[in-house]
Amino acid sequence: MKKLLAVSALALGVGLAGAAKAEQWNMQSTYPGSLTQLGTLGKHVAEQLKLVSNGEVELVFQEPGALVPALEVFDAVASGAVETGWSTPGYWAGKVPALQLFAAVPFGPQAGEYIAWLKFGGGKELFEEIYHEQGIHGVHCGVIAPEASGWFRTEIKSTDDLKGLKMRFFGLGAKVMEKMGVSTQLLAGGDIFPALELGTIDATEFSMPAIDLNLGFYQVAKHYYFPGWHQQATMFDLMINLDLWESLDDTTKAQIETVCDAAIAYGLAEGEAIQFEALQELEANGVTIHQWPPEVLAELEAAWEEVLAELVAEDEDFARVWASLSEFRGNYKKWKDLGYLK
């Protein structure tokens, strides 16, 4: 009996130690969990981390607004009110302009080049340094392929047709559109369709065909434009309160980083695989697919150069990050030109 009690006590002690070690953190998302890729990828990350850690780390996916509004995730994670967040750094332009360069860049790199800069060209180190100053540790945890560049109620035949429009637009691309005479505003995904339907905005961009289909923009606007010059690749991140991150052991940090690396490959592959059927369905619903003519893209790129010069002059961190990305892209170009079909 004594031996049995001793064994039982040992088992209970081991069980309690395991329970004490387990971590459960809220992960406030800026995207609905049902939203193709943007939300579903966040849920995938949570599921994979629980499996990889044998249940010792659990991210509890919180729908937008469950704990804080979608566009208040930054402050919530920084303060520790929420342990982690699922978002993209491009939403925090009003907090730290340089973070936009870690999300999507107009006329910028496609996914392979972008990831190469982040992992091996100094991007990751700058990203962590800038986030740490805000009380956040960021881990890039997803990437999607090129987006569309917008939904319009009427055909856009030249940049003159853009003038005076009210349009939802994201990140650095919004500043370019403002140069073209567009009045832009940033809306969370769930707020876009009602604004478009009610006429609060005249046009919108959000993401790629499979994601835009999910949000139903085609029910209001029938003209869909490509390519997504403003987001040739878009990065997403797992935001972790810095104090929490620094309290973690190396194994837990490695588990998080490994799951996020895997999610980058998973998200890119999924995004490339699901666009064709989405385009077919959109066209079946009366959507007209357009491609911007070269002269329109040239005007947009010229406007981007103006925006870029202003931001580099205004913000030291933006200038540092841009210098790093530009140097990497300049070096990469020789390989790109030699190695890839035009």
Residue pLDDT, tens place only, 287-320: 999 999 999 999 999 999 999 999 999 999 999 9
- pLDDT reported for residue 6: 41
Walk across the sheet containing 84-87 and list its strands.
57-62, 23-29, 84-87, 234-241, 136-144
Which of 8-12, 237-241, 325-329 is predicted least confidently?
8-12
What pLDDT sits at residue 329? 98
Position 156 scores a pLDDT of 96
Sheet holding 183-185, edge to edge: 183-185, 166-168, 203-204, 150-152, 223-226, 288-291
Residue 66 confidence (pLDDT) above 60: yes
Q: pLDDT tens for residues 164-177?
A: 999 999 999 999 99
Collapse the DSSP code of 56 into the 3-class scheme (helix H, G, I; strand E, B; otherwise coil) and give the result. coil
Residue among 312, 314, 291, 294 at smallest CA distance from 302: 294
40 pLDDT above the threshold of 50: yes
Per-residue pLDDT tens digits for 213-227? 999 999 999 999 999
Calculate mean pLDDT across residues 231-249. 97
Query: What confidence score (pLDDT) does residue 12 get?
Result: 37
Tell me the CA distances in angstroms from 64 to 36, 41, 73, 162, 220, one per residue in order: 15, 15, 9, 31, 24
Would you say residue 20 has pLDDT above 70?
Answer: no
Confidence of residue 189 (pLDDT cuts 50, 70, 90): confident
Q: Is the pLDDT of residue 260 over 50?
A: yes
| pTM for the whole structure | 0.90
- Over residues 108-148, the pLDDT tens digits come to 999 999 999 999 999 999 999 999 999 999 999 999 999 99
The pLDDT of residue 22: 77
Q: What percent of the chain is predicted at pLDDT more than 90?
A: 92
CA distance 235 to 93: 14
Phi (first) and psi of residue 184, to 5 degrees: -105, 155
Can you name the residues that pair with 28 across neighbouring β-strands?
62, 85
Close Cβ partners of 258 (under 8 Å, ≥ 6 residues apart): 52
Domains parsed from the chain with CATH numbers: 22-143+233-273 (3.40.190.170), 150-231+286-339 (3.40.190.10)
Closest CA to 315 of 10, 79, 83, 93: 93
pLDDT for the residue numbered 3: 41
Q: What is the pLDDT of residue 190?
A: 87
d(CA 108, CA 94): 21
* Radius of gyration (C-alpha) of the chain in whole angstroms: 22
pLDDT recorded at residue 21: 56
